[in-house]
Chains A and B, each alone.
Chain A
Amino acid sequence: MDQPIWITFFVSFIILNVLLIGMAYVTWFERKVLARFQDRLGPTRTGPAGLLQPLADAVKLLGKEDLVPAAADKWVFLFAPVVTFMTALIAAAVIPFGDTATIFGQEVNLFPADLNVGALFILAAGGAGVYGIILGGWASANRYSLLGALRSAAQVISYELILGFSLVGIFIMTGTLSLREIMLRQHETLSIGPLEVSNWFILSQPLAFVLFMIGAVAETNRAPFDLPEAESELVAGFHTEYSGFRFSLYFLGEYVSMIVVSLFATTLFLGGTSGPGAEEYWGLGLLWLLLKVVAFLFFYVWLRATLPRFRFDQLMGLAWKVLLPLALLNILVTAFFRLIANGEVF
Chain B
Amino acid sequence: MIILGENWIAIVFMIVATFAMGMLLLTLARIVAPTKPSEAKSRPYESGIPDVKPVRPQFTARFYVIAMLFVIFDLEAAFIYPWAVNFDLLGLNGFMHMLVFIALLFVSYAYAWKKGALEWV
Interface residues of A (CB under 8 A from B): 1, 5, 8-9, 12-13, 16, 20, 61-71, 81-82, 85-86, 89-90, 92-93, 112-116, 120-121, 138, 140-144, 146-147, 150, 153-154, 157-158, 160-161, 164-165, 168, 171-172, 175-177, 235, 240-241, 244-246, 248-249, 312-313, 316-317, 320-321, 324, 328, 331-332, 335-336, 338-339, 342, 344-345
Contact = CB atoms under 8 A, between A and B. Distances in A.
Given A114-B7, A141-B54, A153-B63, A82 B45 contact: no
29 contacts: A63-B32, A63-B33, A69-B42, A69-B44, A70-B42, A82-B22, A90-B18, A112-B10, A113-B6, A113-B7, A114-B3, A115-B8, A121-B11, A142-B45, A142-B55, A143-B44, A147-B59, A153-B63, A157-B74, A161-B74, A175-B85, A235-B47, A244-B29, A244-B33, A313-B121, A317-B120, A321-B113, A332-B102, A339-B95
A161 B118 CA distance: 15
Chain B binding surface, main DSSP class: helix
Nearest to A115: B7
Given A61-B29, A344-B92, 19 more contacts: A5-B6, A67-B37, A67-B42, A81-B22, A82-B23, A89-B21, A112-B11, A113-B10, A115-B11, A142-B45, A143-B55, A158-B70, A168-B81, A244-B29, A321-B118, A324-B73, A328-B102, A331-B84, A336-B95
Interface of B: 3-4, 6-11, 13-15, 17-19, 21-23, 25-26, 28-30, 32-37, 39, 41-47, 54-55, 57, 59, 62-63, 66-67, 69-70, 73-74, 77, 80-81, 84-88, 91-92, 95, 98-99, 102, 106, 109, 113, 118-121
Given A86-B22, A112-B10, A65 B15 contact: no
Nearest to A140: B44
Contacts of B25: 245, 248-249
A177 B81 contact: yes
Contacts of B18: 16, 85-86, 89-90
